[in-house]
Amino acid sequence: MTALPSPGAPSRRAAAAPRHAAAVEEQRVWIGFGGRADLPWQRLLRPGFRHCFAAIADAGGWTVLDPLSGRLVVARLDLPAGFDLPAFYRRAGLRVLGPFTPAAPRPALLPALRPLTCVGLCRAVLGAGAPWALTPRGLFRALNAREQEFILDSALNPG
């Protein structure tokens, strides 16, 4: 049985909100794209963009979110401090974009009623500002355009 908070005491939700928001600000997200077709329907997607996943770096290390067919794999990787996971994925032949900072959490007016796909999971990790896309190639193009726009803005407006 849990005790009710005393009148005037902050609720658990209110007390947890600042910690949660701070944790999101400390995270950096990379989105990886791969091209192998493990299922017959994936052959309809563009080679090199048949799957995507998210790698999240925080103060404690790396977490990988990989939605596979019928299962979501969440793995906290035991890697040495300073390990460059995006470079490892690039050497393995994957395309990797990032780092991105996840958007701050915001309440949803309506629940999202769509199937869990690799693209949907990556968009959910990025948050409210994620580009709308249906396929890994569409997500790659939208994120790559955003990354190029940021690089161009940084070069034109230093400091």
Find, among 132, 146, 109, 118, the residue nearest to 49 by Cα. Answer: 118
Q: Classify 112 as helix, strand or coil.
A: coil
Cis ω on the peptide bond leading into residue 99 (within 30° of 0)?
A: yes
Q: Rounded to the nearest 5°, which phi and psi values hold at 64?
A: -115, 130
Asked if the model's pLDDT at residue 104 lies above 70, the reply is yes
Indicate yes or no: pTM above 0.75: no
pLDDT at position 109 over 80: no
3-state SS record for 1-44: CCCCCCCCCCCHHHHHHHHHHHHHHCCEEEEEEECCCCCHHHHH
Residue 1 — pLDDT band, cuts 50, 70, 90?
Answer: very low
Report how far residue 141's alpha carbon sits from residue 49's, in angstroms, rounded to the nearest whole number: 10
In the predicted structure, residue 63 carries a pLDDT above the cut 90: yes
The CA distance from 122 to 29, in Å, is 9
Q: Could you give the CA distance from residue 42 to residue 96 in angstroms, rounded to a whole number?
A: 20
- 12: Cα within 13 Å, side-chain hemisphere: 4
Nearest-angstrom CA–CA distance, 33 and 49? 6
Q: Rounded mean pLDDT of 125-153? A: 81
Residue 18 has pLDDT above 90, yes or no: no
DSSP letter assigned to residue 134? S
